[in-house]
A and B are shown apart, each in its own frame.
Chain A
C-alpha cells in the first residue's frame, strides 16, 4: 500500500482505532495511546504489511491488538523489575481520572463495568461486533480465532452481558 493511501486509511479509521486500542488496553488511556502510536509506527515502517487478505480495518485492528499485547507485556515486566516481584502482576485497573469519569455518560460507565466482568475474548468480540459494526467472521479474523470459536464467545458473552446489565448475576 502506498504511503499516501496508508495515511488516508489510518486517518479515516483513527477514531475507531482509538476505541479499539482502549478496549485492548482495559481502557487505560496512557497504555492505549502508546499502543496506538507504536501500531502506527509498525504500519508506516513496513514492519506490519497489508497483504490484501482482509479488509484494511481488520488488518489495522489486528496490528493494534498485537501491539497492545506487546505493550502490556512490556509494562508488566517493567513493573516486576521496579517492584522486585517475581510472580506475574496483573496490570492495575486504570483510574481514568476524575474529569474523564465526569464526562463519560453514566450508561457508558455501567457498560464498561459490566464488560470487565466478562472474559477477555468475550469482551473483544462484543466490542468488535457492537461497537465497531463488524460481523462475527470479521471479529474472529481480528482475534485470530476460528469462526466457530468466535461465535461461541459472542453468544456466551452477549448472554452474560445482558444478565449483568439487568443485575441478574453479579460475576
Chain B
C-alpha cells in the first residue's frame, strides 16, 4: 500500500482543522473572561513592584543614616603623642633644649644692617 504523500497528509490535517474550528469556543466570550483576570494580574504586578521599590528605599535610607565603620578618620601624625612622653621631661631638661630660631626671638622684626 502506498504511503500517503505530503498532499494527502495535508488534506487529512485540513479535515481535522475544519472539525476543530467548527467547535471552537467563542472568542468574545473568552476575551470577556480574560480581561478582568488580566486587570487583577496587572494590579498584583504593580503592587509587587511598588513594594520592591519601597523596600529598596528603606534599605538605602538605613544604610545612609548610620556611619560606616570602615570610613573612620585616621588621626594625623601631629596629633600623636607617645605614651611614654612624660618620662622625657626631667629637671633641667630645658637647658638641653635646642636654641630658639632667630626669627622667633626677634618676633618677626626686620634685621637692619649696622651703619658703617
Q: Which of the four size classes fits the interface of chain B?
A: 20 to 34
The answer on a CB contact under 8 Å between A10 and B31 is yes
The residue of chain B having its C-beta at the shortest distance from the C-beta of A32 within the complex is B25
The answer on a CB contact under 8 Å between A130 and B21 is no
A: which residues have CB within 8 A of B? 7, 10-11, 14-15, 18-19, 22, 33, 36-37, 40-42, 44-47, 100, 103-105, 107-108, 111-112, 126-127, 130-131, 158, 161-163, 165-168
For B4, what are the chain A residues with a Cβ–Cβ distance below 8 Å? 162, 165-166
The residue of chain B having its C-beta at the shortest distance from the C-beta of A33 within the complex is B25
When chains A and B are docked, how far (Å) is the Cα of A128 from the Cα of B41? 30
User: What are 27 of the A-B contact pairs (CB < 8 Å)?
Assistant: A10-B31, A14-B30, A18-B20, A18-B25, A19-B24, A33-B30, A36-B25, A37-B34, A45-B45, A46-B45, A47-B41, A47-B45, A103-B19, A105-B15, A107-B15, A107-B16, A111-B12, A126-B13, A127-B13, A131-B14, A158-B9, A162-B4, A162-B5, A163-B3, A166-B2, A166-B3, A168-B3
For B21, what are the chain A residues with a Cβ–Cβ distance below 8 Å? 15, 18-19
Q: Which of B3, B13, B19, B33 contacts A104 (CB 8 A)?
A: B19
Q: A10-B27, A44-B35, A45-B42 are in contact. Are A166 and B17 (CB under 8 A)?
A: no
- How distant is B5 from chain A, measured CB to nearest CB, in Å? 8
